C-alpha cells in the first residue's frame, strides 16, 4: 500500500531584537506576515535578546523591552500552540553552537560584514567581539533548527549568505549536517519609509520622533505624526516618481485598507493632502487597535507570558538539541 504520510512543512525561522517597540515599517514589512506564514509553514519566532547585548543596554530596560516584544509577538496573532515563540537566551543551544561555528567561520569573511562596519562607526568607543561575531550567532540561530527559509531584509542578506557558507563548509568536512537556508520569498511586505525623510526607510532607531510610528503609539500621537508628514507642493494624491512622501503614504494606506494605488487615487481625486493625511492616520489607528488592545491585556498577565515563554523554550530546546548533539559528535566532542 502506498505511503500517504503528509509531507513535512517547510520550516521558517525569524528572530527580532527587543531594542525598542517595532514601527509600522517593521509591522507591514514583516510582522503582519508572520501570522499568515504559520498556516503554511512550520514557524519558529524568537526574541533575539542575546543579540541585543552587544551595545550594552541598561539591564532593567532590556528585561522590560524583551517582555514587551514577546507580548507584542503574541498580540499580532502568533499562536504559541501553532508556532514556537521563545526567548533566545532561554535556549542554551544557541550559544553552544555559535562557539563551534566560530571555528568554521573565517575571520576575513566576518570582517567584511557591512553591518559590523556601520555599527563599529556608531559605537566607536566599544567595538567588542560580540559586535564582530554576532553574524555567527545568527548563523547558529538559523542552522540549529534546520530552517529552510529565513525572511531577511536587504540589510541582513549578507548574514544569511555567511550562514550558508559556514553550513556548506561544515557539511563538506563532516558530511551532510545542516540544511542550507534560503531567503524567504513569499508575500512581499511593504517597504515603509520615514515620515520626515521619505527617501530613507522608517527606523525604530531614528532620532526624530516624528519620523516613525510605533505599534504602541496612542491614536492622537499617530494622527499628529501623519499630519506633519513630509509631502510635496503638487497637492495631488497620485503615485509617481519624485513624489516620495505621497508614495509612502499611499503604500501605508494600501497596507491598511487593501486598496490598490489606482483605487486610492480615485478616492482622493480633488481632495487635498490634509484630508489624505488624516485618512491615512485613521486607517493606521484602526489597523493597530486590535493589536494594542490585545497587547494591553497580555502585558499585565505576567503568569501567562511566562507560561508561553517556558513552553516555547522547551520546544525550541528539544528541537535544537538534536542538531547540537549531531554537531558535537561530528566534531569529536566526547559524548556521555
Which grid cell is 234?
Answer: 503638487
Task: For residue 295, give Cα distances in angstroms to 33, 41, 84, 175, 320.
Answer: 18, 25, 19, 45, 29
Look at residue 188 in the predicted model and tell me its pLDDT. 53
Confidence of residue 124 (pLDDT cuts 50, 70, 90): confident
> What's the rounded mean pLDDT across residues 229-246?
93
Which grid cell is 263?
Answer: 483605487
Confidence of residue 332 (pLDDT cuts 50, 70, 90): very high
Cα 265 from Cα 52, distance rounded (Å) = 42
CB atoms within 10 A of CB 263: 13
Cα 247 from Cα 190, distance rounded (Å) = 12
Confidence of residue 115 (pLDDT cuts 50, 70, 90): confident
> What's the rounded mean pLDDT across residues 302-310?
98
Helix then strand then coil, in percent of the chain rounded to 5, is 55, 5, 35
The per-type count for the chain, helices as H runs and strands as E runs, is 14, 5
Task: Please determine, for residue 4, whether its predicted confidence score (pLDDT) is greater than 60.
Answer: no
Q: What angle do helix axes 219-227 and 273-299 make, rounded to 10 degrees?
A: 150
311 among known catalytic residues? no
* Listed residue (73, 43, 55) closest to 19, CA to CA: 55
Look at residue 1 in the predicted model and tell me its pLDDT. 47
Identify each DSSP E strand in 71-153 by its residue range.
84-87, 149-150
Task: Please determine, for residue 2, whether its predicted confidence score (pLDDT) is greater than 80.
Answer: no
Which grid cell is 71?
Answer: 507580548
Cα 297 from Cα 278, distance rounded (Å) = 28
Q: What is the DSSP letter of 324?
A: H
Look at residue 214 in the predicted model and tell me its pLDDT. 96
Confidence of residue 11 (pLDDT cuts 50, 70, 90): very high
Start-to-end CA distance of the chain, whole Å, equals 41
Look at residue 200 in the predicted model and tell me its pLDDT. 93
Judging by beta carbons within 10 Å of its beta carbon (0-12, 13-18, 19+), is residue 81 exposed, middle or buried?
exposed
Cα 248 from Cα 243, distance rounded (Å) = 9
**Percent with pLDDT over 90 in the chain:** 76
Given 32, 201, 225, 277, which residue is catalytic? 201
Report the DSSP pairing between strands 11-16 and 42-47.
parallel
Dump pLDDT digits (tens) for 264-295.
999 999 999 999 999 999 999 999 999 999 99
Task: Please determine, for residue 36, whether its predicted confidence score (pLDDT) is greater than 70.
Answer: yes
Look at residue 96 in the predicted model and tell me its pLDDT. 98
Dump pLDDT digits (tens) for 142-151.
999 999 999 8
Dump pLDDT digits (tens) for 198-216.
999 998 888 899 999 999 9
157 among known catalytic residues? no
pTM over cut 0.85: yes
Considering the domain 11-185+302-331 in this protein, what is its CATH number? 3.40.50.620
DSSP-assigned letters across all residues of 233-254: SS------TT-HHHHHHHHHHH
**Percent with pLDDT over 70 in the chain:** 96
Look at residue 286 in the predicted model and tell me its pLDDT. 98
Look at residue 125 in the predicted model and tell me its pLDDT. 77
64 among known catalytic residues? no
Q: What is the DSSP letter of 6?
A: P
Q: Cβ(171)–Cβ(177) under 8 Å? A: yes
Top CATH class of 219-296 equals mainly alpha
CA 86 to chain centre: 14
Look at residue 272 in the predicted model and tell me its pLDDT. 92
Given 35, 204, 311, 330, which residue is catalytic? 204
**At 246, phi and psi to the nearest 5?**
-70, -40
Given 10, 35, 119, 227, which residue is catalytic? 119
Domain edges within the chain: 11-185+302-331, 219-296
Task: Please determine, for residue 100, whether its predicted confidence score (pLDDT) is greater than 90.
Answer: yes
Q: If DSSP codes are grouped into helix, strand and coil, which group holds residue 84?
A: strand
Amino acid at each position: 500500500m502506498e505511503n500517504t504520510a503528509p509531507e513535512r512543512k517547510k520550516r521558517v525561522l525569524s528572530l527580532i531584537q527587543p531594542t525598542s517597540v517595532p514601527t509600522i515599517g517593521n509591522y507591514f514589512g514583516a510582522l503582519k506576515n508572520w501570522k499568515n506564514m504559520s498556516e503554511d509553514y512550520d514557524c519558529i519566532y524568537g526574541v533575539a535578546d542575546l543579540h541585543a547585548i552587544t551595545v550594552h543596554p541598561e539591564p532593567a530596560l532590556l528585561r522590560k523591552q524583551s517582555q514587551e516584544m514577546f507580548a507584542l509577538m503574541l498580540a499580532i496573532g502568533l499562536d504559541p500552540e501553532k508556532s514556537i515563540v521563545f526567548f533566545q537566551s532561554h535556549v542554551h543551544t544557541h550559544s553552544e553552537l555559535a562557539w563551534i561555528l566560530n571555528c568554521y567561520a573565517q575571520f576575513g569573511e566576518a570582517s567584511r560584514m557591512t553591518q559590523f562596519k556601520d555599527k563599529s562607526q556608531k559605537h566607536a568607543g566599544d567595538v567588542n567581539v560580540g559586535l564582530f561575531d554576532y553574524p555567527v550567532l545568527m548563523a547558529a540561530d538559523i542552522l540549529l533548527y534546520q530552517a529552510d527559509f529565513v525572511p531577511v531584509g536587504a540589510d541582513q542578506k549578507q548574514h544569511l549568505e555567511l550562514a550558508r557558507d559556514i553550513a556548506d563548509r561544515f557539511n563538506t568536512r563532516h558530511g551532510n549536517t545542516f540544511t542550507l537556508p534560503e531567503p524567504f520569498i513569499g508575500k512581499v511586505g511593504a517597504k515603509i519609509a520615514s515620515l520626515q525623510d521619505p527617501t530613507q526607510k522608517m527606523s525604530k532607531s531614528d532620532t526624530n520622533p516624528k519620523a516613525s510610528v510605533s505599534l504602541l503609539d496612542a491614536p492622537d500621537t499617530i494622527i499628529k505624526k501623519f499630519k506633519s508628514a513630509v509631502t510635496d507642493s503638487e497637492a495631488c494624491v497620485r503615485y509617481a516618481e519624485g513624489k516620495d512622501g505621497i508614495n509612502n503614504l499611499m503604500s501605508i494606506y494600501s497596507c491598511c485598507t487593501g486598496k490598490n494605488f489606482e483605487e486610492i487615487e480615485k478616492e482622493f481625486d480633488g481632495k487635498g493632502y490634509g484630508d489624505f493625511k488624516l485618512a491615512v492616520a485613521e486607517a493606521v489607528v484602526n489597523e493597530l487597535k486590535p493589536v494594542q488592545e490585545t497587547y494591553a491585556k497580555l502585558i499585565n498577565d505576567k503568569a501567562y507570558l511566562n507560561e508561553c515563554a517556558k513552553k516555547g523554550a522547551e520546544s525550541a530546546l528539544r528541537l535544537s538539541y538534536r542538531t547540537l548533539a549531531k554537531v558535537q559528535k561530528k566534531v569529536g566532542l566526547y559524548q556521555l
